[in-house]
Amino acid sequence: MKHENAHRRLKTAEGHLRGIQRMLEEDAYCIDVIRQIQAVQAALNKISVQILEEHMNSCLITAIRGEEPEERERVLKEIIEVFETATRT
């Protein structure tokens, strides 16, 4: 299955999100909740990097080696947009 590792990591993050919901329902200490949220965010960031790396090693390389300059530009533009979105504050 494509993205098998990412899928497994997402399932883990999903479990952590449910845990955060329970913590809120049980009025857990706020800092503990925030730490769990940060852990989920870090996990999602790792998944995003992993998928981007896979994309760059497949789709990007295919586009660069291809005959169509428009496709190369499109794929490169997508990657730039991903980085711009990730660095917005």
- Chain segment 6-41, per-residue pLDDT in tens: 999 999 999 999 999 999 999 999 999 999 999 999
The residues spanned by each domain of the chain are: 4-87
CB 22 within 8 A of CB 9: no
User: What number is the average pLDDT over the span 39-66?
Assistant: 92
- Chain segment 66-79, per-residue pLDDT in tens: 999 999 999 999 99
Q: Return the pLDDT at 89.
A: 62
Token pair 């590792």 is at which residue? 5
CATH superfamily for domain 4-87: Metal-sensitive repressor, helix protomer (1.20.58.1000)
